[in-house]
Structure 1
Amino acid sequence: MDDELKGLSLYEQKCILINREMDSNGMGRYQWSIWLLCGFGYFIDLLWAQAFGLVLGPLEQELGFPASQSGNISTAFSAGLTAGAFTWGVLVDIIGRQWAFNLTCLISASFGLGLGGCDSYTSFLVVTAFCGFGIGGNIPIDTTICLEFLPQNRRFLLVLLSLFQPIGVVICSVIAYGFIPSYSCSPNFVEPNPAPSCKNVPAGTPCCTRESNMGWRYLMFTLGAITLFIFFLRFVVFRFQESPKFLVYRGQDEKAVQVLQHIAKYNKRESALTLDDFFTLRVEPGVHSTAGMLGSGDQQKHLSILGKVKLEFKRYRMLFATRWMSYLTILVWLTYIMDFWGFTLAGGYLPRIIAAKNVEISRGLKYTYRSYVYIYLPGIVGVLLGGAMYKFPAFGRKWTMVISSALMGVSIFLFSAANSEASNIGLNVMEYFFQSMFNAVLYGWTPEQFPAPIRGTACGIAAFWGRLFGIVAPQIAQNLLPSTTEPTADDYAKVLYLAGGITLGCVVTTALLPIRMLNRQSM
């Protein structure tokens, strides 16, 4: 027996053979296509998250809800993201990567386009939640898929998927800059005595009408069209093949080999792996695996229904199969909770906070929306730096997360205390730079820690906990704002203190993470 296969279960041996075949492909045309299309999933994740912060001002002015209810938008979106992260994260390990890869994008596009047609705050919140349901599955699914198709020596590209997030934020900000300042009510929501909502004044009173406030709707329609185009690329232009590791742990060895041969052909080479290579594998006496019978081929397919149900529950127990896995799983959950809490508040309220601060230093709406582009563009550099540090497994991944989360929290506190043209842009650049670096490493690191049978579930549940606390965060934050008057920059500082304090919790949880990796190879 090959020395590398000794002491491994049947499933783990098959994963090693699949990894070797993927390594032989290198970064071929198929791998680059997968990486790009998964990157688009990251792209729409923050494209939409940024949008809701940018439309909050004109939406509040037109639909007439008070600032104390402004957190409901972030809550609705987070509720959809939470349900989506859990549902798609679990389903991707049951129905496969292929369907989830495409359906999440289609749902996001459909409801995203519908947002532009909403005429009441209630309908906007409902459609926002459904849009979030589609978007919520993107990152858990895309990291899972990308890891399973990349060569082992190119796993740092998982981190670089996060490049698409700041690009999504910047593009959303550019589109908003083009639409919202030019197509908003006058006086707009940052000017003295803004036009009141037509829902809050008697008929015939000058107010903020739908026709005079189309900017935010144009933004929603444009983002929906972009998301629909990405679905077209995924479903029509490129035909995604099911993950060989998913097929193997589902006992479909023959289909797994066919997929590997398809990938090799797409890359204009011959596959070296055959079904006979799987048939010749043997498990040494005394070898036990937390995967049980997963990946045992025909033996697994011929289990009774009860046997298959028991096998499914045994698969979920892999998250807590050993003391080390339990420790890892809990720390990952806590890290996601505090990270999502912090950046949900930052993403949802920073646009309004910057607008409020700019009013105090006599800066207009166009200046404010142009500032968003300057703030978010350096996030691309943060991701690249995180990717560079990822190449040093013993130090880079863990301590990059520790340092970047600390600086992210500190920058939020500093921003709350300062108010000048330079500080409003500079400190936000700092916050988003380190947020991008931290999330890039976290999202790339997480799927590597869990084997394929629970990889999607593990990433999905981690995102679920984060999204769940992303619902709680704005509800607490909006209670810190006045309900009868327009919030000032000082009022919003309370929200920043909350976001910064929770974010600093990530320093503790990431410092406690074990440096040791689950395996030298992803299983």
Structure 2
Amino acid sequence: MPQDDRINLPSTASQVSRLFPRKQAEEMDTVTKDETKTPYEVGMTPKPEGSIEVIASTELISFRHVDEALDAKMHLVNQAINQIELTPYHWKLFCLNGMGYAVDSLLPILMSIANTQVVLEYQPSYNRGGQIGLYVGLLVGALFWGISADIIGRKWAFNMSLFLASVFSIGAGAAPNYIGWASLVALGGSGAGGNLVRHDRFPGIFTGRRAMAGHLYGLMVGCWSNSSRPVRMGLYANPGWRYLYYTSGGFVLLMSIARITVIRFHDTPKYLLCKGEDEKVVTLLRNLATKYGRECDLTVESLASQGKITSTHSKKVFSLSEIGVHYRGLFSTKRLGISTLLIWFSWLLIALGYPLFYVFLPEYLASRGAEFGQTSTYITWRNYVLAQFSSVFGPVLAGYMCKVPVIGRKYTMAIGAVISMVFFFAYTAVRNNAENVGFNCATSFAINIYYGTLYAYSPEVLPTAHRATGNGTAVALNRIMGIMSAVIATYADTSTSVPFYICAALFGWMALVSVLFPYEPQTSQSV
């Protein structure tokens, strides 16, 4: 945004002590504020006549006893964000970030759909190489983009991740052999691995909706999946799966172009704040407010008066000590440390349950269809599309459930996990095709109530300075278990009901962990 878009407002600096008209329970790591205080009374400029009064926010995590300057400045920035509220820029960013979730859903679905036909064409000695390659790539991408995003910023991951995923996905369609295909699938995964680690620019209103675009895209992939059926034409014996990769890779390429043309991406104000770049924080928020006719009373002086942030970066940025700072920051308080571990454990659990259901679902559907006397490939993929379509509405319902005061984020996940567990156990009682399709759709819907909320909850309860590292590690652990699911599938019969019993038990654990989460962000703001 141009520099001359700034607006000049009067400024004053307040004393540090005036920033904290609130009580703190140290053992709970939370902050309670005097709600009669407005942003103009806690370090911003004097309240202009006729301006809108904004009630002070409550920070989810308090760093007052770790880094008082960070705690104070984060409070001021949250106040400024509350003043500006949602703008068209945020809605554009919402859609563009949703493309990242879409690609994260797309790549495993592409691989699972194409794998059977690729194996038929190349006859490899080990037929799970594609899945292992994909998850290794996603693992490397999550760690690389996650840790680097906290060091050099989110901009590179935002602009490059989809482009890399699209190029390698298109290349996978032209693979000359099975090893080449698996390698390109892995490289595509390493690019896409940056899509889940830096979606932290949204106000809380988007919680529960962030993952919805990913499930919408699953429907598109399912509609294209019929092209992967065995046919004979042209140079290759079975070009259907190749067309699937070309089409999907081309669509992702369009997404990557949209990311650099629709908006000019800037690093988040809180990331810049943690780097000590107060002027850039104020300029970014002021320009955004000016462009969309909003109020923003944050000043450089009010931030500078709170002191210097000392806990977010090491002296040498590109070093092991810098990485250590970000991991230690995730455990800077006891409560935050427990929260971090439970988030990582949740991603481990869903990583085993989710692939067992989705990645091996085509094999299971085919076997159940044969058992019921239905062998049509068309019907198998039709049922697959119906299951994907049903999953779209899980995050939609989760978005509304998150707003219910007695439910919130934690119990939305718990309810979704319990419902999923019930459907998994009930699935084994299926006796005909109609029940088979119905339970698949219901299970897909319930799973994504949990998964959609977990996607949104994880970055909310991780501190900005270390958020990409924490989220990247969570996703990396998720990918490790994805690799394990491939190993399990090698020695287990995924066309039987056994995976459903395993998934049911896993979702039971997920429900318990959700209830144990120490933070409920429903009425608080991330820091």
TM-score above 0.5: yes
Q: Deviations over 1:356-404 (max 9, x none)?
A: 2223322411121122221111222211111111113553322221221
Letter in 1 for 2:370: V
Structure 1 stretches of 4+ with a deviation exceeding 6 A read 306-309
| 1:417 CA drift (Å) | 4.5
Aligned-pair RMSD on alpha carbons?
2.6
Q: Which residue of 2 aligns with 1:158?
A: 207
Letter in 2 for 1:462: A
Report if the CA contact (8 A) 2:132-2:483 is conserved: yes
Q: Distance in 2 between matches of 1:232 and 1:416?
A: 45
Q: Deviations over 1:256-315 (max 9, x none)?
A: 2222233224424464322222223369xxxxxxxx6147xxxx8xx8549997676344
Letter in 2 for 1:55: A
Q: Distance in 2 between matches of 1:503 and 1:73?
A: 26
Q: Which residue of 2 aligns with 1:503?
A: 507
Select which of 242, 249, 266 maps to 1:217: 242
| 1:227 CA drift (Å) | 0.8
| 1:236 CA drift (Å) | 2.6
Q: Distance in 2 between matches of 1:258 and 1:308?
A: 30
Q: Which residue of 2 aligns with 1:349?
A: 360
Q: Distance in 1 between matches of 2:410 and 2:520?
A: 10
Matches within 5 A, 1:89-488: 89-142=146-199, 144=200, 146-147=201-202, 150=203, 155-177=204-226, 179-181=227-229, 184-185=230-231, 211-269=236-294, 271-281=296-306, 293-294=310-311, 305=316, 313-360=324-371, 361-392=373-404, 395-481=407-493
SS where residue 92 of structure 1 aligns? helix
Task: Return the structure number with greater relative CO, CA threshold 8 A, min gap 6.
Answer: 1
Q: Deviations over 1:88-140 (max 9, x none)?
A: 11111111011111111111111111110012111111111111111122122
Q: Which residue of 1 aligns with 2:138?
A: 81
| 1:28 CA drift (Å) | 0.8
Q: Distance in 2 between matches of 1:458 and 1:304?
A: 21
Q: Quick one: structure 1 residues 39 and 95, their matched pair in 2 at CA, closer, same or farther if it must change by over 3 Å?
A: same
Report if the CA contact (8 A) 2:210-2:452 is conserved: yes
> Higher mean Cα deviation, 245-254 or 271-280?
271-280
Letter in 2 for 1:218: Y
Letter in 1 for 2:502: L
Q: Which residue of 2 aligns with 1:31?
A: 90
Unaligned 5+ runs, structure 2:
1-17, 22-32, 34-41, 44-61
> Higher mean Cα deviation, 394-403 or 219-228?
394-403
Q: Distance in 1 between matches of 2:439 and 2:426?
A: 7
| 1:498 CA drift (Å) | 3.3
* TM-score in terms of structure 1 length: 0.83
Letter in 2 for 1:406: V
Q: Distance in 1 between matches of 2:322 and 2:361?
A: 47
* Correspondence 1:70 to 2:127: yes
Report if the CA contact (8 A) 2:211-2:395 is conserved: yes
Q: Quick one: structure 1 residues 311 and 118, their matched pair in 2 at CA, closer, same or farther if it must change by over 3 Å?
A: closer
Letter in 2 for 1:47: L
Q: Distance in 2 between matches of 1:103 and 1:513?
A: 33
Report if the CA contact (8 A) 1:242-1:259 is conserved: no
Select which of 118, 143, 151 maps to 1:59: 118
Q: Deviations over 1:395-445 (max 9, x none)?
A: 332222122112223323433442521122111111110111101111111
Letter in 2 for 1:368: T
Letter in 1 for 2:187: F
Report if the CA contact (8 A) 1:77-1:129 is conserved: yes
Q: Distance in 2 between matches of 1:36 and 1:307?
A: 32
| 1:25 CA drift (Å) | 2.0
| 1:344 CA drift (Å) | 1.4
Q: Distance in 2 between matches of 1:236 and 1:306?
A: 30
Report if the CA contact (8 A) 1:74-1:344 is conserved: no
Q: Distance in 2 between matches of 1:309 and 1:363?
A: 56
Q: Distance in 2 between matches of 1:393 and 1:214?
A: 52
Q: Distance in 1 between matches of 2:185 and 2:349?
A: 23
Letter in 2 for 1:343: Y
Unaligned 5+ runs, structure 1:
187-207, 284-291, 482-486
Q: Quick one: structure 1 residues 519 and 323, their matched pair in 2 at CA, closer, same or farther if it must change by over 3 Å?
A: farther
Q: Deviations over 1:133-178 (max 9, x none)?
A: 1112212212x2x33xx2xxxx14132011112101101001123x
Q: Which residue of 2 aligns with 1:198?
A: none
Q: Distance in 2 between matches of 1:108 and 1:452?
A: 26
Letter in 2 for 1:167: L
Higher helix proportion (structure 1 or 2): 1
Q: Which residue of 1 aligns with 2:79?
A: 20
Report if the CA contact (8 A) 2:340-2:462 is conserved: no
Q: Distance in 2 between matches of 1:251 and 1:307?
A: 17
Q: Quick one: structure 1 residues 329 and 394, their matched pair in 2 at CA, closer, same or farther if it must change by over 3 Å?
A: farther
Q: Distance in 2 between matches of 1:364 and 1:304?
A: 63
| 1:465 CA drift (Å) | 0.9
Q: Which residue of 2 aligns with 1:197?
A: none
* TM-score in terms of structure 2 length: 0.82
Q: Distance in 1 between matches of 2:489 and 2:95?
A: 36
| 1:235 CA drift (Å) | 1.4
